[in-house]
Structure 1
Amino acid sequence: MLTGREPGPAPRTPAGTQPQISTFKGQERALRADRIGTPGLLLSVLAATAPLMVVAGVMPTTYAVMGIVGQPLLFVILAVIMALFSVGYAEMSRHVHNAGAFYAYIARGLGGTAGASASFVALVSYSTMQVGAFGIFGYEASALLKEHADVTVSWWWPALAGLVLVGILGALKVDLNAKVLGVLLLAECLLVLIFDFAFIGDPGREGVSFQAFNPDMLSGSGLGTALCFTIAAFVGFEMAPVYAEETSRPQQVVSRVMFTSIGFAAVFYAFSSWAISVATGPSQVVGAAQQAGPGLVFALSDTRLGSAFSNILSVFFVTGIFACMLSFHNVVARYAFAMGREGLLPAAMGRASKSTGAPALGSLLQSTVALIVIVAFAATDRDPVLHLFTWMGNVGALGIILLMAATSLAVVVFFTKRGVARAQASRLTASITAALALTVILVYAVSDFPKLLGADPNSSLRWILPGIILVAAVVGGAYGAVLRSKRPQAHARIGLGNEAFQLDLARSSAEAEKAPRA
């Protein structure tokens, strides 16, 4: 197994036993192993993609704003790019098991300073996406209460209630979280498939047409921005390596889950967006989306399946958002844990709960950040969807695209430095191709950011919001440079994760053997 910058010998352990590490630097610094298997990890990862929110929210918005009929084909194209990225990413996950996934891989390939920069970008990106989801969750939940219980509450009350529940679940065992996410995810997918087949069974005036898969339907000035919109639907599959320390067989489980989730997302989303175009007719889908907005799917379902189904759909739309929030919360907590363990955040963040094995303090940190942001947006009377959800979601997606591109480059450098470039030639080719494609999407995302926000092209937000990711990268890189200068041993351990503490034990054992006996 390739392990990177090992600064010392491996610990000696009796045959047939697993190496143990000291309680202070090991047991509390390691996430509980064997907590989650392939099904649980797959459900946790897919829950982050929020299938119902993508189908009912992202797809109509993309049709309406971008005016591109070939949206189903976009999901196929993006699936290819994500699969190319995952070829090298999955191989990297076999050699590096670290809850800091993105930044750990970048540190192993591009050095500790780059890894420190990436760690702050990852923490900010996933945090903003998770916090942003509270906006749409609060808005939709308050709308449900108004419609079905005749109770009027401000959006931030349901958001705060969701915050408390997510925080509690985030501090518990990850296998319990997986069960909660699994139930909600399966319900979402079933409902989506029901209305998908209803749309196809009762098509619009043009019948069951496959025109949306025609490459000519991708024409239009909004293609680049549409890629940015739809790539967010895939965000989640890359979380699988974050749980590597908590799986029983990370070398097999992580890569299997990643490719399965990409395949699922590609088929599920391409099929669903095509079904929407069939229900309205390909030539009418853009106009219908512009007229109905995010309510398009609900309106189409209502005429085919009745209002009772639409009401059920509305409820699971909210629970699906909750599942997405919980999934992102778990990932942020684990990034905070990994960073605390390696000196990039206070050491307390890098200790796991003795009772659950979960990163409880990392969970608390994310809950605190979310609370501050929700209160700030509520106090300033900002729109929870147009501002909190849209702003934060797009900032987070931008950061994750950047991390993917940097990780693809890091994979190439990692294996090349170790003299195995020829043996890994096919994987490195895939990584280079993915890096180029992701860089193109990143450029589109930055240049078309006003469109993503629905803001004026001259608005200062077009630079301020992307600037959040830039600031995170600069602050993280500066801190990494300080560590390299002031604490070179700590800098050398960035990305090593729990292996660093195994090395501490090895060093202590070696020193004990050399010490004179009384």
Structure 2
Amino acid sequence: MSAPAPRPSPPSPAPEPADRHRLRGTLGAGSIVFMVVAAAAPLTVVAGTVPLGLAAGNGAAFPMTFVLCAVVLLLFAVGFCAMSRHVPGAGAFYAYVARGLGAAPGLGSAFLALVTYTAVQAAVYGYLGATVDALVQHHGGPALPWYLYAAAALVVAGVLGYRHIELSGRVLGTLLVAEVAIVLVFDAVVAATGGLGSGRSTALFVPSQFLSGSLGIAIMFAIASFIGFEATAVFRDEARDPERTIPRATYLALVLIGAFYTLSSWAVVSAWGDDGAVARATEDPGNMIVATITAVLGPVGGDLAQVLLVTSLFAALLSFHNVLSRYLFALGNAGSMPPALGRSHARHASPHAASAAQSGTALALIAVFAVTGMDPVTQVFAWMAGTATLGVLALMALTCAAVLVFFRRSRVDTRFWHTALAPALGLAGLLVCLWLTVANFPTLIGGSPALALAIGGVLVAAFVLGTVLTRFTGDRPGTLPSPDAPGTVTGHDTAGTDLQEETR
């Protein structure tokens, strides 16, 4: 048997352009977890998604659906984290796809991500405006257009996004602790007392109940609730020790989100009993969580829940603002967007230009929604949240495929579980979730097949636009540097470095 031929030495990385900017920070795993869990908006999910899952999904067993989706996403996270040390910079999904599948799919994923996160942020603006208006009127205030409240939130998010990331981290941490605290108090009271006299639910442990109703719709609603956890890699340049911080933050965020959703949805079911919870969710899904907390914790608890629902939405808004700003920053550095977007602030080391541009885009969308008279919940929120769900699932599936291809080609990591089996299982699970979402997409956005087709067309068009753009810029897939190559695994490497190296 002849000896295997040695692998060729990796090429030296391209020199860093003098005009490239970088982000800086000392975020630990806890700070990043705060930001991505805030993006998932835990209280908003419990208030909005759980009733829908109970009513239209698999009934009282819906809490177990969160466990199933968390397992699928943990499998995705194994490969995602294994590859994170080989993809420095703040490009997240698109940098992974570019490194594994080539420049054209990578830039296509970048444009798809921009549309996806812009959509989810627009959804939050609509829901936030409507929620604040309802809260103000409930306490005797005037009835004002929802978009005025949305515009005020935009200004605050823009100011925080302009400054150093650690300020946003502190704000998000405070808001997240408050919204999670009231739900955990509610959970503890229900667990201790058995709710309103119906006893603790066991439906989630009964396979026949878990498989009853519409499991596909239940999975669709549950997987949508995790949107935001995958943004950990976006903050790589601002992490204290990215090789350790990013994987820890990703796993911790997933486990905490999954456990919180499962426990809290179980408490909501237990508070009313299996049949009572489904009936309540069917009758009045929008007010179910506030009514439940009021019944268990009293009027003060209900009023506090209403206020914290507003702060939960703002926390999600701010988190997605930061994610979008860093996508634009990375694309500016990579030369795929105007270079001005890739500038970092001299004092705050923040993507201030990208943050301002992102605020402008959000303001334009709010203006369009206002002028066209769209309802902030049934249209803005429903349509945009549905768009984001479909887009994120497509992005995660592409990323899983990129992980598999990257490790198979580069052989820089030969751990079978981390680089092959777990990513393959994650890809299979994500494709099933994507198929279920496509099949039930009209339900997710309000029942219009024509609108579903139009939204799908926008997402496809965004991806195609990115792939076509590489032809005009002369980009082409490059080589795969070794993890030992200089500059490949630096904690504070420049955002967008990998995509630009891939496309030279």
Residue type of the alignment partner of 2:332? G
2:73 to 82, 89, 104: 82
In the alignment, what sits opposite 1:178?
169
CA distance in 2, matches of 1:31, 1:45: 18
Query: Are residue 354 (structure 1) and residue 349 (structure 2) matched?
Result: no
Residue type of the alignment partner of 2:437? A
Residue type of the alignment partner of 1:25? D
2:335 to 343, 351, 356: 343
Residue type of the alignment partner of 1:324? A
Which stretch shows the higher mean deviation, 493-502 or 256-265?
493-502
Q: Secondary structure at the match of 2:195?
A: coil
Q: Secondary structure at the match of 2:60?
A: coil
Q: Deviations over 1:388-437 (max 9, x none)?
A: 11111110121111111111110011111113564345431100111111
CA distance in 2, matches of 1:112, 1:96: 14
Which stretch shows the higher mean deviation, 195-204 or 439-448?
195-204
Shift of 1:492: 4.4
Query: Are residue 463 (structure 1) and residue 467 (structure 2) matched?
Result: no
Which stretch shows the higher mean deviation, 144-153 or 343-352?
144-153
The answer (yes or no) to whether the contact 1:68–1:223 under 8 Å persists in 2 is no
CA separation of 1:73 and 1:155: change in aligned 2, threshold 3 A = same
CA separation of 1:103 and 1:356: change in aligned 2, threshold 3 A = same
Unaligned runs of 5+ in 2: 1-7, 482-487
CA distance in 1, matches of 2:190, 2:257: 19
In the alignment, what sits opposite 1:498?
494
Residue type of the alignment partner of 2:313? I
CA distance in 1, matches of 2:498, 2:298: 60
CA distance in 2, matches of 1:204, 1:309: 15
Q: Secondary structure at the match of 2:425?
A: helix
2:370 to 362, 378, 385: 378
CA distance in 1, matches of 2:234, 2:29: 14
CA distance in 1, matches of 2:155, 2:433: 36
Which stretch shows the higher mean deviation, 318-327 or 349-358?
349-358
CA distance in 1, matches of 2:297, 2:203: 25
Shift of 1:204: 4.2
Q: Secondary structure at the match of 1:368?
A: helix
In the alignment, what sits opposite 1:18?
none
Residue type of the alignment partner of 2:464? V
| TM value normalised by structure 2 | 0.91
Query: Are residue 47 (structure 1) and residue 51 (structure 2) matched?
Result: no
Q: Deviations over 1:31-50 (max 9, x none)?
A: 11x33122211111111111
Shift of 1:221: 5.2
CA distance in 2, matches of 1:469, 1:10: 33
Which stretch shows the higher mean deviation, 463-472 or 247-256?
463-472
CA distance in 2, matches of 1:60, 1:499: 40
The answer (yes or no) to whether the contact 1:10–1:503 under 8 Å persists in 2 is no
Shift of 1:380: 1.2
The answer (yes or no) to whether the contact 1:129–1:393 under 8 Å persists in 2 is yes
CA separation of 1:170 and 1:216: change in aligned 2, threshold 3 A = same
CA distance in 2, matches of 1:426, 1:318: 39
Shift of 1:112: 0.6
The answer (yes or no) to whether the contact 1:202–1:304 under 8 Å persists in 2 is no
Aligned length: 483
Q: Deviations over 1:320-370 (max 9, x none)?
A: 100000000100000011111111111111111112111112111211111
Q: Deviations over 1:460-492 (max 9, x none)?
A: 102011222111111111112333xx355xx64
In the alignment, what sits opposite 1:136?
127
Which stretch shows the higher mean deviation, 222-231 or 84-93?
222-231
The answer (yes or no) to whether the contact 1:115–1:494 under 8 Å persists in 2 is no
Q: Deviations over 1:425-455 (max 9, x none)?
A: 5431100111111011111111211111122
Shift of 1:498: 2.7
Q: Deviations over 1:136-158 (max 9, x none)?
A: 00000111111214222111110
Residue type of the alignment partner of 1:180? V
In the alignment, what sits opposite 2:3?
none
CA distance in 2, matches of 1:477, 1:502: 17
In the alignment, what sits opposite 1:452?
444
In the alignment, what sits opposite 1:474?
464
Unaligned runs of 5+ in 1: 12-20, 505-518
CA distance in 1, matches of 2:111, 2:180: 33
Shift of 1:241: 0.7
CA distance in 1, matches of 2:91, 2:127: 28
CA distance in 2, matches of 1:81, 1:91: 16
CA distance in 2, matches of 1:232, 1:238: 12
CA separation of 1:423 and 1:311: change in aligned 2, threshold 3 A = closer
Which stretch shows the higher mean deviation, 182-191 or 265-274?
265-274
2:105 to 83, 98, 114: 114
Shift of 1:213: 2.6
In the alignment, what sits opposite 1:516?
none
1:325 to 317, 323, 333: 317
The answer (yes or no) to whether the contact 1:61–1:293 under 8 Å persists in 2 is yes
1:265 to 254, 257, 261: 257
Q: Deviations over 1:261-286 (max 9, x none)?
A: 11111111101111111111112221
- Output aligned runs, 1:127-276, within 5 Å: 127-200=118-191, 201-220=193-212, 222-276=214-268
Question: Percent identity between the aligned chains?
Answer: 36
The answer (yes or no) to whether the contact 1:107–1:494 under 8 Å persists in 2 is no
Residue type of the alignment partner of 2:465? V
Q: Secondary structure at the match of 1:403?
A: helix
CA distance in 2, matches of 1:111, 1:434: 21
In the alignment, what sits opposite 1:284?
276
Q: Secondary structure at the match of 1:344?
A: coil
Shift of 1:69: 2.2
Q: Secondary structure at the match of 1:8?
A: coil
In the alignment, what sits opposite 2:398?
406
In the alignment, what sits opposite 1:25?
19
The answer (yes or no) to whether the contact 2:203–2:209 under 8 Å persists in 1 is yes
CA distance in 2, matches of 1:500, 1:212: 44
Shift of 1:219: 2.2
CA separation of 1:501 and 1:67: change in aligned 2, threshold 3 A = closer
| TM value normalised by structure 1 | 0.88
